Chains A and B, each alone.
Chain A
Amino acid sequence: MIRALRRDRGFVVGAVIAAGMVLVAVTAPLLAALAGQDYTTYHDDLLDSARGGVPIGSFGGISGEHWLGVEPGTGRDLFARLVYGAQVSVGVAVAATFLEVLLGVTVGIAAGLGGRWVDAGLSRLIDLVLSVPVLVMAISLLAIVPQDWPRPLLLAAVIAILGWGGTARISRGETLTLRTREYVAAAQVSGASWGRVARREILPGLTAPILTYAALLLPTNMVVEAGLSFLGVGVRPPTPSWGQMLSSATTWFRADPCYVFFPALLLFLTLLSFVLVANGLRRVLDPRQRAVLR
């Protein structure tokens, strides 16, 4: 299986990038120290205050000291903020996606395997989750929890609680088709309980569609995190996140394009890597796709 994965060029590229991102997130303090910068120190001397606070110099103030330039308006080191931003962006998005998949798949399978009434009830619940306006609920939810709860975790939880509907819908649909397969009946005849059927027989069949979906859910969650941070209910300053940087970059779009470019690039690379990894995994997890015969 590992060998098959290693032969998949897309997967390898994706895995390398994804691992790189995670590594960057984990070693952010080290990397920042390596650059001799931290993400909080203001450098007012590097900004042109009369011009609204754009970095002095070309390319957003790129210099030997500030490898990727500085943040307009504050002069904080952009490299340090980007590597620290990975912690929140990757962390929250991955955690939220994980929770969403966990919740969605559980409810989806339960609805798919359950009887008429269980299915009807859970389906309405899914409808409810799907029709909740995420922004409103997130803002309201985040407003009522105490200030000192760990923010990124909370964000992940809120995003997940409001966003598992899609996964559940897909899981339910797939389960409904999978449950008619004879191998499910076979497992039942051998005396397997519903839980066991769900785990052993249904779940493996869900991996492919859910993986694909999750790979796309991830960037969506990054964007949601960005939106919430932008609306002031996300991570607290001075903690950076890519999404937040991207949203605040709108005003600097023309005055300092570099400020938009770097977080956008990282976001793109991360998404790319996750899609590639998901594609690779899906191919490998599906034994039929390994031996290509139609």
Chain B
Amino acid sequence: MIGYLIRRVAGAGVVLLVLSALIYALFYLAPSDPAILTCGKGCTPERLADVRAAMGLDDPIWTQYGHFLQGLFAGRDYPAGPDVRHCPAPCLGYSFETDQPVTALLLDRLPVSASLAIGAEALSLAVGIGAGMLSGLRRFRVLDRVVNGLILAGYTVPVFLVGLLLLLLFCVHLRWLPFPGYVPFTTDPLLWAQNLLLPWVALAVIQSAAYARLTRSGLQETLAEDHIRTARAYGIPERRILWRRALRGALLPLVTLTAVDLAAIMTSAVLTETMFGLPGVGQLLVGAVNQIDLPVVVGVTLLTGLLIVVANAAADLLYAAVDPRVELR
């Protein structure tokens, strides 16, 4: 187990380093110069050269990457006018666009994205598993059909349409909810949930479709297994069989999917974030890409990668915890 974790962590480290190097290379190949954007309209070539030097962009790309690694592991000093700014390890540098420390930016936006992702995932799971069970038990044929249709519809409808519809319905016409914005959980849990409700629903409409589908097929498969027959032969009530035995096996595949989705929402739900006024990681990333804000792009990418790797590892561990047969390898 410990050995497994060590191997996993080492693997993840390699993946993340390769990822950051890849992004540096891509940006180097791309025909764009962040200094021009920073320098502003009417920037003269002389001024541009000065700005580029101040941003450290006049070094060769590998030196820049070397500096990045140095910052990551040992911290780094940046000249900043009258004094020097010290950025302690793990230093991801300062945003080209806003001059904010990238680590602070990430830490600032992570709670927003986490709130969005965790709530949406919880809701999606609840709805998806519920719907999947209803249709998987095949007690209600019509319901099965309906759920199936909805599942498909959920896949196709783009999130911005769902979002807009929800806003129009609940905030404009019914006025049951205020237009969402982000309120930290620590400030007011109730307001936090109230504000996040619509984005959660919007994402759940799409996510739960997949979960329902998986639950449905998983349940049908598990219910046909021998040990369920044993339980029946020993007079264990259906309800108990369903909750204690069948669901456990049926929901296992959901674990991996949930983990990956969780990471995905945290890092790439740009449209949802913008629509619902949530300053999350996704917005940060897209803004940074458009502004060639290399440090932020690398920072967010590393975070994304870390989240996905961690999510996958967590899924595997959870898998092993839920299913005693699974061995970690």
Contacts and interface: CB of A to CB of B under 8 A. Distances in A.
Contacts of B129: none
Contacts of B268: 133-135
Interface in B1-59: 11-12, 14-16, 18-19, 22-23, 26-27, 29-32
B11 A135 contact: no
B168 A136 contact: no
Contacts, number: 94
B152 A275 contact: yes
A219 B156 CA distance: 7
Given A140-B26, A144-B30, A272-B152, A246 B158 contact: yes
A253 B164 contact: yes
Interface residues of A, number: 35
Contacts of B312: 127, 130
A130 B308 contact: yes
B81 to A, nearest CB: 31
B161 A260 contact: yes
B156 A271 contact: yes
Interface in A212-231: 216, 219, 223, 226
A132 B298 CA distance: 11
B165 to A, nearest CB: 8
A124 interface: yes
B285 A136 contact: yes
Contact of A144 (B29, B260, B304): B29
In this complex, the interface size class of chain B, counting residues with CB under 8 Å from chain A, is 35 or more
Task: Tell me what chain B mostly uses at the interface: helix, strand, loop, or mixed.
Answer: helix
B155 A271 contact: yes
A87 to B, nearest CB: 19
Interface of A: 120, 123-124, 127-128, 130-137, 139-141, 143-144, 216, 219, 223, 226, 246-247, 250, 253-254, 260, 264, 267-268, 271-272, 275, 294
Interface of B: 11-12, 14-16, 18-19, 22-23, 26-27, 29-32, 152-153, 155-158, 160-161, 164, 168, 210, 224, 260, 267-268, 270, 285-286, 289, 297, 300-301, 304-305, 308-309, 312
- Complex A-B, nearest 6 residue pairs according to Cβ-Cβ distance, in ascending order: A131-B305, A131-B308, A140-B26, A268-B156, A144-B29, A271-B156
Given A137-B26, A139-B289, A247-B158, 10 more contacts: A127-B12, A132-B305, A133-B268, A135-B268, A136-B285, A143-B31, A143-B32, A219-B156, A246-B158, A253-B164
